[in-house]
């Protein structure tokens, strides 16, 4: 282990960003996040950075609780039909969009139809089983399904359940994402790419008592050291994704507070299976790379032992985890034998990742381990949105993907591996795997669903289109003066209830 620890110490810190100017305006909540969002439209967005903005700006039909249940937000209640093919949703009657338009059942139906049918919507895969949406009365909609679809509640607790102003979308057209109009506690004011997003309190929000700041400023800062420095100097109030190695600094600082939460999130090394490379063509080469790495060492060296090593999307305590497939031990001899069997004893892998310290350090440890098996790994850090664009074009060999996690196992797997997922950049699509996913979505019996997803796990861990590395422990640091922060396993910061 000392070899890899020395390696990381030799990497050095990235250059610190120009210090932010301390905010002087009263009533401003300043949040430091890891990445700059992509397009700020729930129909188009696909990044965790965007979800932090949406959480403050766009309410959903219902929200996820710390107990992994769902609580009403724009809806007051929902009810499944006896056959599981219809979901009837009762809506609040006091919701106004940021442009002053009322949220009605017609507006909700319009949003759901846009998400499932608009040519550029990336929500279509999530809502594929939806056959139609009916307006029952001014405050009730019914979602009709072609077949039972167990993940729907989880899907509607995220971007597919966010309601935007139909009038604003129709007015702005393709430019809606530059000035989005939702119905959440804060409304969009300004965005300066790679610097900040400003949201101002929406005076028409139905629960003003829950809002204690007039303004929210979200500052994307890929370097976790810079985020912490800005928190320590009073230029930020709360930061997400604290580096595990900095947890002790926060605990020792009386002006700061550390809050942790076991997360649904995971990180995985994801392969492009359409490329002209040994890793794309032969799963034995991918298996060799897995045999060359040690997930426990990655966790100890990079995450100070605070995360959970894993080889599956679902955590060890999840009923959907396949305990018959344990984390494989590191085996250099097996790695070399697999490469020899595949006829490529010295393959080269270009490994992209976000230009954040943790991802780069994980890449460096993998690079060092793989070298011992004769595999050359070229670490290629880059800006998150630029990486996504490259993957959309198929211009990558492998990428470290970070997924923030969902309460339903389907989305945790489907997001990168389902045939129809917009983020299936590697083009993994075997018929048996996709058929198993479809069975899991249609099954509503918990025990039967668990068995199906354990089968799904057995397929992708054998094919290795991606190698799950670990489940995340969310680490938040914030000013001790900030009150009311309640972490949720999805890792997002809810602004309602926060105060100083």
Q: How confident is the model at residue 275 (pLDDT cuts 50, 70, 90)?
A: confident
Query: What gap in Å lies between CA 286 and CA 375, rounded to an integer?
Result: 11
CA 128, 134, 137, 142 dihedral sign is: negative
Average pLDDT, the chain: 93
* Tens digit of each residue's pLDDT (9 = 90 or more) over 298-351: 999 999 999 999 999 999 989 999 999 999 999 999 999 999 999 998 999 999
What pLDDT, on the 0 to 100 scale, is given for residue 20?
47
* Tens digit of each residue's pLDDT (9 = 90 or more) over 88-116: 999 999 999 999 999 999 999 999 999 99
Q: How confident is the model at residue 14 (pLDDT cuts 50, 70, 90)?
A: very low
CA 111, 115, 118, 121 dihedral sign is: positive
Per-residue three-class SS string for 267-326: EEEEECCCCCCHHHHCHHHHHHHHHHCCHHHHHHHHHCCCCEECCCCCCCCCCCCCCCCC
Q: How confident is the model at residue 240 (pLDDT cuts 50, 70, 90)?
A: very high
Q: What average pLDDT does the segment 409-421 reach?
A: 94
| % of the chain beyond a pLDDT of 90 | 90
Q: How confident is the model at residue 5 (pLDDT cuts 50, 70, 90)?
A: very low
Strands 256-271 and 196-201: unpaired
For residues 404 and 273, the answer to whether their CB atoms sit within 8 Å is no
* Tens digit of each residue's pLDDT (9 = 90 or more) over 29-82: 999 999 999 999 999 999 999 999 999 999 999 999 999 899 999 999 999 999
Q: How confident is the model at residue 17 (pLDDT cuts 50, 70, 90)?
A: very low
Chain Cα centroid distance, residue 377: 25
For residues 397 and 271, the answer to whether their CB atoms sit within 8 Å is yes
Alpha helices, H only, 397-479: 409-417, 431-442, 446-463
Which domains does the chain possess?
A: 59-166 (3.90.76.10), 264-472 (3.10.105.10)
What pLDDT, on the 0 to 100 scale, is given for residue 238?
98
DSSP 248: H
Query: What gap in Å lies between CA 412 and CA 327, rounded to an integer?
Result: 18
What pLDDT, on the 0 to 100 scale, is given for residue 251?
96
pTM assigned to the model: 0.83
**Predicted confidence (pLDDT) at residue 7 exceeds the cutoff of 90:** no
User: Which tokens is 372 given?
Assistant: 């011992």
- Torsion, Cα 282 285 290 292, to 10 degrees, reads 180
**CA geometry: angle 215, 406, 143, nearest 5 deg:** 90
């Amino acid at each position: 282990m000392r070899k890899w620890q020395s390696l990381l110490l030799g990497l050095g810190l990235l250059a610190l960003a120009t210090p932010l100017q301390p905010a002087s305006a009263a009533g401003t909540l300043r949040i430091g996040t890891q990445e700059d969002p992509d397009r700020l439209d729930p129909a188009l967005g696909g990044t965790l950075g965007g979800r932090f903005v949406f959480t403050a700006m766009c309410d959903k039909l219902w929200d996820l609780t710390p107990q992994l249940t769902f609580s009403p937000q724009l809806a007051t209640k929902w009810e499944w039909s006896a056959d599981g093919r219809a979901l009837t949703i009762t809506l609040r009657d006091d919701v106004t969009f940021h442009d002053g338009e009322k949220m009605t059942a017609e507006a909700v139906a319009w949003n759901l139809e846009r998400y499932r049918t608009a040519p550029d919507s990336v929500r279509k895969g999530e809502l594929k089983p939806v056959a139609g949406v009916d307006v029952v009365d001014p405050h009730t909609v019914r979602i009709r399904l072609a077949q039972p679809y167990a993940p729907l509640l989880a899907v509607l607790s995220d971007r597919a359940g966010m309601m935007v102003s139909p009038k604003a979308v129709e007015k702005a057209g393709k430019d809606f994402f530059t000035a989005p109009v939702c119905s959440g506690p804060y409304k969009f004011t300004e965005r300066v790419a790679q610097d900040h997003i400003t949201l101002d309190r929406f005076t028409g929000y139905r629960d003003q008592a829950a809002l204690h700041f007039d303004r929210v400023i979200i500052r994307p800062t890929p370097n976790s050291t810079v985020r912490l420095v800005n928190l320590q100097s009073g230029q930020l109030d709360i930061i997400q994704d604290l580096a595990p190695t900095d947890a002790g600094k926060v605990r020792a600082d009386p002006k700061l507070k550390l809050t942790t939460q076991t997360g649904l999130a995971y990180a995985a090394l994801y392969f492009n299976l359409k490329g002209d490379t040994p890793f794309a063509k032969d799963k034995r080469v991918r298996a060799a790379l897995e045999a060359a790495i040690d997930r426990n060492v990655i966790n100890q060296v990079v995450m100070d032992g605070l995360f959970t090593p894993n080889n599956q999307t679902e955590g060890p305590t999840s009923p959907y985890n396949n305990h018959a497939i344990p984390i494989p031990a590191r085996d250099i001899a097996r790695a070399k034998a697999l490469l020899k069997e595949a006829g490529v004893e010295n393959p080269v892998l270009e490994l992209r990742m976000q230009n954040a310290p943790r991802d780069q350090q994980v890449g460096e440890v993998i690079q060092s381990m793989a070298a011992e098996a004769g595999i050359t790994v070229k670490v290629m850090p880059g800006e998150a949105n630029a990486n996504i664009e490259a993957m959309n074009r198929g211009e990558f060999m492998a990428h470290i993907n970070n997924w923030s996690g969902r309460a339903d196992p389907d989305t945790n797997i489907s997001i990168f591996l389902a045939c129809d997922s917009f983020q299936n950049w590697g083009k993994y699509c075997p018929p048996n795997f996709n058929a198993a996913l479809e069975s899991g979505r249609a099954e509503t019996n918990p025990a039967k669903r668990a068995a199906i997803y354990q089968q799904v796990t057995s397929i992708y861990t054998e094919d290795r289109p991606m190698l799950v590395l670990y489940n995340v422990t969310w680490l938040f640091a914030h000013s001790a003066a900030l009150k009311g922060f309640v972490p949720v396993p999805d890792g997002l910061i809810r602004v309602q209830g926060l105060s100083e």
